[in-house]
Amino acid sequence: MNCRESQEQLIDYLEGNLDEISRIELELHLQGCVGCQQEMRELQQLVAALESDSERIQVPDDFMKNVRTKVAKSQESSRKSYKQRAMIGLVAMLFLTVFVGTAVATNSFASVLDWWKDLSAKQDEQTQDYVQHGLGERLNLAAESNGVKVTITSVVADDIQTLIYYEIDDQNKGNKYMINYSDGLKIANQDQDWKREDHPAYLPVTNHLSLYSKTDHVYKGRLGVAPMTTDVGSIQLELSKLEKVTQTPGDPDTAQSVSGGKKEFVAGDWRFDIPVKKHPAIVHKIHVETKIDGNPIIFDKLTIAPTITVLSYRYRNENPDKSMEYIKISSLESKGKLVYDQFGLGGYGGSSRYEKGWNSAEATFESLYFEKPTDVKIHIDSATFSVSKHAKFAIDSSKGLPQSFEYLGNKLTIEQMEIGTPTKIVMTEELNPNRAYEMLDYHFYDKDGHGGSGASINGYYIDKKGDKYKIGDYLLRQNELDHPRMFSTEHHIEFSGGNNVPVGVEIEGYKVTSFYDKVVGISLD
């Protein structure tokens, strides 16, 4: 998921309109993306302000539609101003919306479920390591209210983040409940023990991770909290309501349910005083330079904390017509041991910030804290480039479908279009053997030139030998393929803009990937 896709889903996330897999995907992206965390907090601030004044303010029925339209226009403006924006459907950090669409459509959650179980098992192993090394604490802080028991099971803290693991048990064994960190959660001592941000709705909770539970009425999760200003203290966590979980990966009874239903909550009063001891990270200031296709890359800092390893770097694009969007750092190596990104889904750099001609990014990996490395090797797998090649094609909604057009010798077809709020579109692409591009950077627009669209995308990985593999089958098995490139072939688009009637599609360019298998060594002495 890239930042544009993430920000397009934030409103749905706050409204409870995401299925469980999409919610997990977004939560994973928020784990390491400061920019999207800020966007989330600003939306939370808006929602909180509306709720506090709800008795005095009469909100029109089409309020959220208008908000979405304004957001779409703002995103369109930003996209045209900054070519570093991610392309629709691009693999950014951790996961792909494309697989969500495929899995929901075919009810084939098996590989996602297996991945989720493995992720959760690794979290348990990491927690045990924290406790064994004195970096975390096993807790059994329990509170029960309205027939629901919440237990804080463990906590670990460092200079980067505090991780709080919890379980929620419905004593009536009828439902599953989770913490909604944007609704019903409060940290009573946040003004005293955190550096307050500028905006009034600041909340130190930065992310949430859903974990697998084999018990139907028990939910497991992890809250990520910004580091406290003190080394030793407590988190005074207060919960006034919990959200009912309505969709679970792998459950055939809910896999095909339609998202968008109103959130359900159980009210109560759960309070905890969670002891926290912050452990310092090891920060190595470095300055190591390399180049990819003539574009300079500078590795500036390696932060090794008990919970995470963060590699900070920046790069500059020397070719405006072929901009380097993402760098895939597949792993870090220390003393012959390789560590990968925390969730095993890519190794792409996090959100990119543009300043003074440079794009700054961070890649996160499993912790090297116990390795105490004196030198590290950075394994650069590949880079993704955005190539500018503009084209514009008209769509006549009064005429029959399909409607086709050609881009770079490849046929694209609008197969279906259902006008509504939003308008739903199905677009397909040919996959010729010599197709010049992998994925498109495009958007649909209305008669005023406005509009935003999100897409679930299907397609194939094509490896070095030219063999094809369905994305849905190999998303979580990319490491089995030799230099896989992802080619889109089918787009399921939701369009919002103006009267929701698209009159055209604009292609700004396309994505290509280059592989390097480059190793850069850095000394930490």
> pLDDT means per 10 residues in the chain (525 residues)?
61 60 63 62 55 42 45 41 25 28 31 73 90 93 98 96 96 92 89 73 78 91 92 97 74 37 87 97 96 96 94 93 89 92 57 77 90 95 93 90 96 94 92 92 88 76 93 74 92 81 93 94 92
Domain containing residue 378: CATH number: 2.60.40.1640
Among residues 439, 422, 450, the alpha carbon closest in space to that of 507 is found at 439
β-strands 353-355, 452-462: how paired? unpaired
State the Rg of the chain over Cα. 23
| Residues 502 and 395 sit within 8 Å (Cβ to Cβ) | yes
Structural domain includes residue 87: no
Q: Is the dihedral of CA 436, 441, 445, 450 positive or negative?
A: negative
Among residues 304, 308, 264, the alpha carbon closest in space to that of 283 is found at 304
Instruction: Determine the pLDDT at residue 452.
Output: 66
Both 272 and 206 in one domain: the answer is yes
Instruction: Determine the pLDDT at residue 22.
Output: 62
Structural domain includes residue 442: yes
| Residues 389 and 509 sit within 8 Å (Cβ to Cβ) | yes
Both 121 and 268 in one domain: the answer is yes
Alpha helices in 107-222 (DSSP H): 110-132, 190-193
Instruction: Determine the pLDDT at residue 217.
Output: 93
| Residues 2 and 90 sit within 8 Å (Cβ to Cβ) | yes
Instruction: Determine the pLDDT at residue 483.
Output: 92
Both 122 and 159 in one domain: the answer is yes
Query: Tokens 């030998």, residue?
Result: 465
Give the E-state strand segments of 366-437 in sequence order: 375-394, 403-407, 410-418, 423-429
What's the full length of the chain, in residues? 525
Alpha helices in 181-310 (DSSP H): 190-193
Both 115 and 246 in one domain: the answer is yes
Helix (H) or strand (E) holding 165: strand 162-170
CA distances to 305, 451, 521 from 286, in Å: 16, 44, 11
Structural domain includes residue 34: no
Rounded-to-integer distance, Cα 509 and Cα 187, Å? 45
Residue 333 phi/psi, 5-degree rounding, is -125, 130
Both 255 and 289 in one domain: the answer is no
Instruction: Determine the pLDDT at residue 57.
Output: 41
Both 394 and 325 in one domain: the answer is no
CA distances to 35, 232, 366 from 308, in Å: 19, 20, 5
Both 321 and 192 in one domain: the answer is no
Both 335 and 293 in one domain: the answer is yes
Domain containing residue 159: CATH number: 2.60.40.1630
Domain end among 223, 257, 278: 278
Return the half-sphere exposure (C-beta side, CA atoms, 13 A cut-off) of residue 297.
Answer: 24
Structural domain includes residue 335: yes
First to last CA, the chain: 36
Both 441 and 341 in one domain: the answer is no
Query: Tokens 């698209």, residue?
Result: 502
* Sequence-ordered list of residues with C-beta below 8 angstroms from that of 360, at least 6 positions apart, any chain: 312, 313, 314, 352, 353, 354
Q: Cα-Cα-Cα-Cα dihedral of 81, 86, 88, 89, to 10°?
A: 180
* Domain, as residue range, for 134: 107-278
Domain end among 233, 257, 278: 278
Structural domain includes residue 36: no
Structural domain includes residue 55: no
How many distinct structural domains can be found in the chain?
Answer: 3
Tokens coding 13: 């996330």
Rounded-to-integer distance, Cα 299 and Cα 495, Å? 39
| Residues 23 and 56 sit within 8 Å (Cβ to Cβ) | no
Both 370 and 415 in one domain: the answer is no
Structural domain includes residue 500: yes
CA distances to 283, 371, 377, 519 from 374, in Å: 12, 9, 11, 17
CA distances to 96, 429, 438 from 459, in Å: 12, 9, 10
pTM for the complete prediction?
A: 0.74
Rounded-to-integer distance, Cα 235 and Cα 238, Å? 9
Domain end among 228, 257, 278: 278
Both 308 and 403 in one domain: the answer is no
| Side-by-side strand order, sheet with 468-470 | 403-407, 410-418, 423-429, 485-496, 452-462, 468-470
Give the E-state strand segments of 171-231 in sequence order: 177-178, 185-187, 205-211, 218-225
Structural domain includes residue 58: no
Question: Cβ atoms within 10 A of the Cβ of 506, count?
Answer: 16
Both 333 and 202 in one domain: the answer is no
Instruction: Determine the pLDDT at residue 450.
Output: 81
Q: What angle is formed at CA 106 by the lines to CA 472 and CA 25, rounded to 5 degrees?
A: 55
